[in-house]
Structure 1
Amino acid sequence: MKSRYVRIAIAGLMLVLGAVSVQLLTPSTAYAQSSSTAAMTNADVVKLAKLGFGSEIIKEKINGASTVNFKLEVDDLVKLKNAGVSQDVISAMLKRADGGGASSTAAASGPANYPGSPADVTLVTKDGGNVHLRGISGTMSTTNAVVTVLMHYNYPGMAAGVRTHDTRPSFIVNSTDQPKGRIYIVSLDVDKGDQDRSLKIGNARFWGGMKNVGAPDKDNQVDYDAVSMGNGNQWKLTPTKDLKPGEYGLYSGGLFDFGVDQ
């Protein structure tokens, strides 16, 4: 009889333990499931920054997230900065929210390759023939200027390695769509103090929000003609006016830089 009671007691105990296990495991499992599908948010980035994770790890999480839901108006950028989020992480958030997204390898080696981004750019000049341009990535900086927030991408070095004396070079790019409005020829400002080149991005006002955050400032844009080549997946871009001596690039999330000499 005792053995029967013992068996019943053991069975009952196993049922209780099983119920407890279900109660303990279910929230964890649900959290894991929701975490795998939920969009990454500003709060997630701030949490990682406060826990002491480095910028490279946070950027990998941003670029590797299946979806993101970042809030990046001027007030949001201020809150991120005050929370200790670094400028290069904020730059990655802006790039991802603007349609970018890259693996950690792509982020380390050059600009993100996403729809509309030229993965291959050839510079065509009268003096040097055809030169393949290599993409480089920049870091973002922000400066408060009275009623606006100035945003710049900063690129290492004061001069591009590729140089030309041709004041009206052309570019061959691969693009399935019309490149205008997505691919830009831009001028870069040289900063001797910081030993770099910068590109002003977007237009942000404290009371008017952020506009054209993914596009270069109009003062840095160079007008060009776009002619479709071959099967329509390749385009030839040519400035409408001669370029002055200085630093330039083809911009679409990343930069393909070159310089024009006298």
Structure 2
Amino acid sequence: MSERILGVLGGMGPLASAEFMRQLTLLTPAERDQEHVPAILWSDPRVPDRVAARRGTGPDPLPVLVRGLRGLEAAGCGAIAIPCNTAHGWIVGMRAATRLPILHIVDAAAEDLRRQGVRPGTVGVMGTVATLEMGLYQDGLRGGGWDVIVPPPEDMARLVSPAIAEVKANRVEAAYAPLAEAARSLVARGATAVVLGCTEIPLGVAAGPALPFPVVDTIAALARVSIAWAREGATPAAVA
């Protein structure tokens, strides 16, 4: 293992950040403590709500995100992973505020689609309303040859958004049924795989039986590219 230290800008939400650290550990090919990835988690749940900010009903989270970035810089980190999809809507401002590379979660998801053998075509994406409205995955995956379909507004209101809220409230098991229904609906509309584009969603999906089609757990995907960076200095090819 190299001495590269990974900075994890988290707290959005805290459970997703904890799961990222768990996946970072489980996915590292290591036989002893010293072979794992050195990492520092900055978990600050005080970051203003990203969905509210994007919709103009809440404060800008960028100043708090930048404070975390600077703390990780000062701690000696060499790159940043952010286990929150919606926060990547502020990626331009964050990259302007730090000298460190930020490992983009959409690039990590594209890398995981390739890892699973999902060929260019139609994929579904589930995420927060803000993530989907910003087009993070629609824009990001297009460069890799994928077209993106998302849940219709009625499925977002009835299934996806309430399920994300359940996970944030630590009622993870209650999130499984609505998320599974929304994912199956995307496959019925022609998706060959479903990207779980909110880091709360993989936690809910993992609370029940495995879905019978490829899914991209964006927490695990980000952990894999973080491990590659720490071991080899590699970053996934940008798809946008």
The TM tier, using the shorter chain, reads: under 0.3
The structure whose residues are more often helix, as a share, is: 2
Structure number having the greater strand percentage: 1
Q: Whose Rg is larger? A: 1
TM-score, length-scaled by structure 2: 0.27
Larger RCO of the pair (alpha carbons < 8 Å, separation 6+): 2
Q: TM-score, normalised by structure 1?
A: 0.25
